Amino acid sequence: MADTVYLDNAATTPVDPRVFEAMRPFWIETWGNPSSVYAVGRRARRALDNARDRCAQILNARANEIIFTGCGSESDNLAIKGCAMAMAEQRGWRHVVTSRVEHHAVLHACEWLAQHMGFEITYVDVDGYGRVDPADMTAAVRPDTAVVSIMYANNEVGTIEPVAEIARAVKAVNPLTVVHTDAVQAGGLLPLDVEALGVDALALSGHKFYAPKGVGLLYLRRGTPLVHLLSGGGQERGIRAGTENVAYIVGMTVALELAYAELSQRVAHVSALRDRLIDGVTSRIDGSQLTGHPTDRMPNSASFAIDGADGESLLLNLDQEGIYASSGSACTSGTLEISHVLCALGLPEAQARGSLRLTTGVRTTEGDVERLIDVLPAIVERVREVTPSLVG
């Protein structure tokens, strides 16, 4: 990616070379099946156990509370569907509470429960910054609420949700309700202490913090009722079958350790660049505004609504300049739908259409940021000219 500017680190990140080197032996030398009893299998098993211990330490959890999965979406699905089904079977509880600004992995998992398992879902509103009020969340909790799912940080507008407050408040109303947090966007940049957060379940995805795509993690507090979703061999204590992807699990572990060992430098680096983006864009482009919370936001996330400019056109024009950015979340940025997040924030359609997300990473440079700030004004002007229905 020489001469290109990557400002979409919330969508995915490149693999850290140190992560790559940590993974390599598990394809080439120690490729045994961790379920095998002989030496090359036992070596793979030890690497897996060791990875679990190290991930547990970073999350302030126990090793047997860590379940390795194939992606962040799988982690969210396992927590939400698995816990909800268990509560339905054990107690007849069929109600789930979540917010309107969750990632599709959460929203669609809830819809699946409604469609296939007869659950009722309550979607809690957010304020203009995308924040959930803990009081609104607890007001929605009922005696039959099986699961509350609240994201740690929003993927589109970067707003950090008051997860610890919500978890405490929910438990005060219904101590048996399982509290899950989708921490996919927060992983690698916000603290992940599950005791401090007070959650029963927490989902992470490796590729958001410089591990490869195709590996995730679910923290599940001991004693949390769960119906497993993926049946088979007894891997992950029977909770998640499938021969373990030892290479990626080791890679994710190293990536997580690096992220938290280097946390203060990383946060300082990405947030300084983010602040320059926010300042540069809002000061140089009339009719632009920051979306999401001004201060309680992901250190790497600068998101905007640009009046009268079509987001897709902005992206295509930036792409032609070799600048990679996003409009809405990556998972749906190939579509023309208006983001459900921006709708929930109450943005008028004309502004929501002009959404632009710029997310910095450890490799982002000041030069990258200045380049974006230099070229964006002319692009916005051009795009506004060809977006007549919105400027007319």
Give catalytic residues, as residue numbers.
331
Distance CA 156, CA 129 (A): 11
Cβ closest to its own copies, residue 169 vs residue 211: 211
Interface region with its own copies, contact rule CB under 8 A, candidates 264-272, 278-286, 318-326, 375-383: 318-326
Ramachandran area for residue 193 (φ above 0: left; ψ -120 to 50: alpha; else beta): beta
Q: What angle do CA 43, 222, 104 make, to 5 degrees?
A: 90
Q: Kindly indicate which of the ranges 2-10, 252-260, 292-300, 346-354 contains the residues binding its own copies, using the contact rule CB under 8 A.
A: 2-10
Binding mask 25-54 for its own copies (x = CB under 8 A): --xxx-xxx-xxxxxxx-------------
Residues 224-263 close enough to bind its own copies by CB under 8 A: 227-235, 241-248
Q: Please name every residue paired with 160 in a beta bridge, in sequence order, or none if there are none.
A: 153
Binding of residue 6 to its own copies (CB under 8 A): yes
Please name which of 60, 219, 86 lies closest in space to residue 147, comparing C-alpha atoms.
Answer: 86
Phi, psi angle pair for 98, to nearest 5°: -150, 180
Residue placing its CB nearer to its own copies in the complex, 169 or 256: 256
C-alpha distance from residue 22 to each of 14, 239, 326 (Å): 15, 26, 30
Report the C-alpha gap between 238 and 350 in whole angstroms. Answer: 49
Q: Which is nearer to its own copies, 86 or 169 (CB)?
A: 86
- Near its own copies in 67-86, by CB under 8 A: 69-74, 76-77, 81, 85
CB-nearer residue toward its own copies: 138 or 149: 149
User: Residue 268, exposed/middle/buried by CB under 10 A (0-12, 13-18, 19+)?
Assistant: exposed
Q: Which of positions 269-298 make contact with its own copies (CB under 8 A)?
A: none
The runs of H, that is alpha helices, within 286-346 are 311-320, 340-344
Residue number, 247 or 259, with CB nearest to its own copies: 247
Rounded CA gap, 23 and 31, in Å? 11
Size of the site for its own copies (CB under 8 A): 81
Q: Is residue 389 packed enough to be buried (19+ CB in 10 Å), middle (13-18) or exposed (0-12)?
A: exposed
Single-letter amino acid, residue 123 = Y
DSSP state of 151: E
Please report, as residue ranges, which positions from 200 to 219 form the binding site for its own copies (by CB under 8 A).
205, 207, 212-215
| 361 binds its own copies per the rule CB under 8 A | no
* 96-135 residues near its own copies, rule: CB under 8 A: 103-105, 108-109, 111-112, 116
Stretch near its own copies under the rule CB under 8 A, chosen from 140-148, 172-180, 194-202, 324-332? 324-332
Is residue 64 near its own copies by the rule CB under 8 A? no
Among 150, 315, 369, 383, binds its own copies (CB under 8 A): 315
3-state secondary structure of 177: coil
